[in-house]
Structure 1
Amino acid sequence: MPEPCKPEPILRGVLFDLDGTLLDTAPDMAGALTALRAEEGLPPLPFEQMRGHVSHGSKGLVDIGFGTALAPERFAALRQRFLDIYAASLCQGTRLFPGMEALLRALESAGIVWGIVTNKPGYLTDPLLHTLGLGARSRCVVSGDTLAQRKPHPAPLLHAATLCGLAPGDCLYIGDAERDIAAGRAAGMRTAIARWGYIDAADRPQTWGADAALEAPADTLSRFFPDARTA
């Protein structure tokens, strides 16, 4: 006789990627690239063209803004200048994605812990979360320089689960990039794609192997936490 299917573990926590999943940082990230291009005598790029690269951080934006054939020293200088401009205007247009506050409140009301795992460096992550009042609410924040490894390595997600007092299998990881899903799967977590995030037209999220693709934050509840309710 075939062995009975094992039930899926009950999820007790949600970990979020930051840029393009929890927060819409594209206005400020794209604004920094526009300012940098202006310094270099270049016109602004269309916002939607820049938006699709925000999840790839400063490297992705410098690549789209100045090409991928730069000499290493030229790339490094432009990247550092981009980061300096961005740090000076960190939270002018950045907000939670629509529906995300309701999701966070529903998770908190249901006793489901949530945290953040991002490749964004801590010197940018921490003040951003403080300004938005999210740092004190999040059970953990693992930034890109918290450990020696970064996503797609699973170590940051495993560290986050430990900080939350959870086993990896108790956690759902939500992100908008292939490396997010790869890291979550390697960590033994359930994974979901944030379709509202910065998914470029060239991306193929259907091949990433996620457990679900969510069209809006509220879909997290209906798909994974049906007993939780939004206010």
Structure 2
Amino acid sequence: MFTQTSLTPPRAVLFDLDGTLLDTAPDLGAALNAVLRAEQRPEVTAKEYTPLASHGSVRLLKHAFGEEFDARQEELRRAFLTAYSTAIAKHTRLFDGVSHLLNKLVEQQIAVAIVTNKPSALTNQLLPYFPQLAAIEVVVSGDTLAVAKPHPEPLLFAAEQLAIPAQQCWYVGDAQRDIEAGQRAQMTTVLAAYGYLSEDDQPAQWGADKHIHHPLELLQLWS
């Protein structure tokens, strides 16, 4: 049971991308199934691939190929990324409420940044399809630095770019590594429980400061 007591408003909110701002699972799943079809293997259902979408190509491919993935990792990742980049925004959409949430944050003069583990080439290709996200000036991708989440450095780097102390920033994400990174960066952490959680995940044990089940619930945490 999670108590939702009001907190001091943040000066900045940093967001994960896949499973938090954007519902990218349909296009990631389509890329995975394109690889499987090329290999003449059975396709994976949305029920299977959606909970894995936040974890990127490695987790998706490992689920589909099992132990074989280890021996063919580079080949399979290259095929997956080619398939994904050719149709990166065919079915991807903003989660319901995200557009309104971003507008409200701007109205309240709360800065916004994106910190994702998605490779920068894919991040930069995807964001222009969504003008509100493309307008966000501070974007840290999985290869922007030498380390990625759950390391705190990408979050700290984003806060530095915003010129806002990390302790006055919130980080919102849907995966355990997001919460861990936020905690290590000394930010207030918010679990996007509407995102890509699997049946095996145990979010109650991750220690997020707050849980939200819809993007707009974020605004209620300090109002």
Which TM-score tier does this pair reach, normalised by the shorter chain? over 0.9
Structure 2 counterpart SS, 1:198: coil
The residue number in structure 2 matching 1:114 is: 112
TM-score normalised by structure 1 residue count = 0.91
Asked if structure 2 preserves the Cα contact closer than 8 Å seen for 1:9 and 1:169, the reply is no
Asked if structure 2 preserves the Cα contact closer than 8 Å seen for 1:171 and 1:190, the reply is yes
Q: Deviations over 1:141-172 (max 9, x none)?
A: 00001000100000000000011111001111
The residue number in structure 1 matching 2:187 is: 189
Structure 2 counterpart SS, 1:34: helix
The residue number in structure 1 matching 2:27 is: 28
Asked if structure 2 preserves the Cα contact closer than 8 Å seen for 1:140 and 1:164, the reply is yes
Q: Deviation above 6 Å: which 4+ runs of structure 1?
A: none
Asked if structure 1 preserves the Cα contact closer than 8 Å seen for 2:61 and 2:69, the reply is no
Cα deviation for residue 65 of structure 1 reads 1.3
Structure 2 residues not aligned, in runs of 5+: 1-5
The residue number in structure 2 matching 1:4 is: none
- Code of the residue aligned with 1:49 in structure 2: it is E
1:219, 1:8 → 2: CA distance?
13
Asked if structure 2 preserves the Cα contact closer than 8 Å seen for 1:195 and 1:214, the reply is yes
The residue number in structure 1 matching 2:143 is: 145
Cα deviation for residue 64 of structure 1 reads 1.2
2:213, 2:71 → 1: CA distance?
40
**36 and 71 in structure 1: CA distance in 2 versus 1, 3 angstrom threshold:** closer
- Code of the residue aligned with 2:182 in structure 1: it is G
**9 and 110 in structure 1: CA distance in 2 versus 1, 3 angstrom threshold:** closer
Asked if structure 2 preserves the Cα contact closer than 8 Å seen for 1:113 and 1:139, the reply is no
- Say what the alpha-carbon RMSD is for the aligned residues: 1.4
The residue number in structure 2 matching 1:201 is: 199
Cα deviation for residue 137 of structure 1 reads 2.2
Q: Is residue 84 of structure 1 aligned with residue 82 of structure 2?
A: yes
1:144, 1:73 → 2: CA distance?
23
- Code of the residue aligned with 1:43 in structure 2: it is P
Q: Is residue 55 of structure 1 aligned with residue 70 of structure 2?
A: no
Structure 2 counterpart SS, 1:115: strand
Structure 1 residues not aligned, in runs of 5+: 1-6, 227-231
Percent of aligned pairs sharing the same letter: 44
**71 and 20 in structure 1: CA distance in 2 versus 1, 3 angstrom threshold:** closer
Match of 1:126 among 103, 124, 140: 124
Asked if structure 1 preserves the Cα contact closer than 8 Å seen for 2:171 and 2:187, the reply is yes
Cα deviation for residue 72 of structure 1 reads 3.4
Cα deviation for residue 11 of structure 1 reads 1.2
The structure with more helix, counted as a fraction of residues: 2
- Code of the residue aligned with 2:165 in structure 1: it is A
The residue number in structure 2 matching 1:43 is: 42
The residue number in structure 1 matching 2:3 is: none
Q: Is residue 165 of structure 1 aligned with residue 163 of structure 2?
A: yes
Q: Deviations over 1:111-147 (max 9, x none)?
A: 1111100000100001211121134421310000100
1:118, 1:37 → 2: CA distance?
26
Q: Deviations over 1:175-221 (max 9, x none)?
A: 01000000000000000100110001100000001001101001100
1:138, 1:71 → 2: CA distance?
36
Asked if structure 1 preserves the Cα contact closer than 8 Å seen for 2:7 and 2:221, the reply is no
Q: Between 17-26 and 39-48, report the one with greater CA deviation.
A: 39-48
What number of residue pairs does the alignment pair up? 218
- Code of the residue aligned with 2:188 in structure 1: it is R
**26 and 136 in structure 1: CA distance in 2 versus 1, 3 angstrom threshold:** closer
The residue number in structure 2 matching 1:3 is: none
